[in-house]
Amino acid sequence: MHARTRRGLVSVVLSTYNERENVSKLIPIIEGILKRSKIRGEIVVVDDNSPDGTSDLVRKLGRKYGNVRLLWRRRKMGPGSAHADGYRFAKGGIIVGMDTDFSHNPYDIPRFVAKIREGYDLVVGSRYIKGGQYEVKSFQTLKKSIASRLGNIFIVLLSRVPVHDFTTALRAIRREAVWEVKTESQGNSFFMEFIVKAYWKGYRTTEIPIVFRDRVIGKSKLKLGSQSFKMLADLVKLSSQAKPSSTVQASRR
């Protein structure tokens, strides 16, 4: 599913399942950000056959703006898989992935694009470096934040990759890395696997702080227990694979 790349184009990839209300607000905001920042961009929405009419809305917005494209999938396959497909479907030389529920701040998009243009291949949004934050407004969110923090510590210990946040979808990637980094994970482990394998291949990687907000509209699709066990199993499998020379380094500024 390799799209023809347009070097000066930035692709913003969103995954959706029953996110019609959020999409109706988020896409106009992103359009405004791209225009004000003088970023030539497209928005790619990967929708898993949402019964709430998300796909129909995306098609309508595509006719309105001319740069919104839909990748429709027949069944619910999850955000990790959606981003993997969305990266390949995107046409931009720079790809920015993010959540659709406003957990990620769309006004961060220009910061990520600027870092890629500085010369980085992968720019990861981090809740766990100075300036980053995981917003906690409920007991459920507290449990998620603790699981996320512990999980990321385990990933660092087992993978030896010096990144602090492997599990958030907010990141920017140079197109060449999407072509070259081969992933196997079908679930949310994709986000972790992509960073680890990109680093192992020697792609220049950095982190910038982000604030991860609690969802306001809609219902979270995260199943904390089952997805945590799946990610742990995938991490053990990944860490057993051969690693490249220790001379490969990541930098964080």
pLDDT digit string, tens, across residues 102-142: 999 999 999 999 999 999 999 999 999 999 999 988 888 88
Residue 227 has which token pair? 């997805």
60-74, 92-106, 146-160, 226-240 — which is least confidently predicted?
226-240
Q: Where are the domains of the chain?
A: 6-239
CA distance 77 to 131: 33
- How many angstroms separate the Cα of 28 from the Cα of each of 86, 97, 175, 222? 20, 17, 25, 26
Secondary structure element (H or E) that encloses residue 206, with its range: strand 205-209
Is the separation of the CB atoms in 70 and 43 below 8 Å?
A: no
212: part of which helix (H) or strand (E)? Answer: strand 211-212
Q: How many CB atoms lie within 10 A of CB 180?
A: 13
**What's the rounded mean pLDDT across residues 5-14?**
90
Q: How many helices (H) and strands (E) does the chain have?
A: 8, 9
- With a cut of 60, say whether residue 70 has pLDDT above it: yes
Instruction: Quickly list DSSP for 111-134.
Output: HHHHHHHHT-SEEEEESSSTT-EE
Q: Are 133 and 211 in contact (CB under 8 A)?
A: yes
What is the mean pLDDT of the segment spanning 184-198?
Answer: 91
**pLDDT grade for 2, boundaries at 50, 70 and 90:** low
- Quote the crossing angle between the two packed helices 224-239 and 139-159, to the nearest 10°: 10
Q: In the predicted model, what is the mean pLDDT of residues 5-34?
A: 95
Tokens of 136: 């906690």
CATH value of 6-239 in 3.30.2270.10, 3.40.50.970, 3.90.550.10, 3.30.420.130: 3.90.550.10
Give dist(CA 87, CA 220) in Å, integer.
Answer: 22
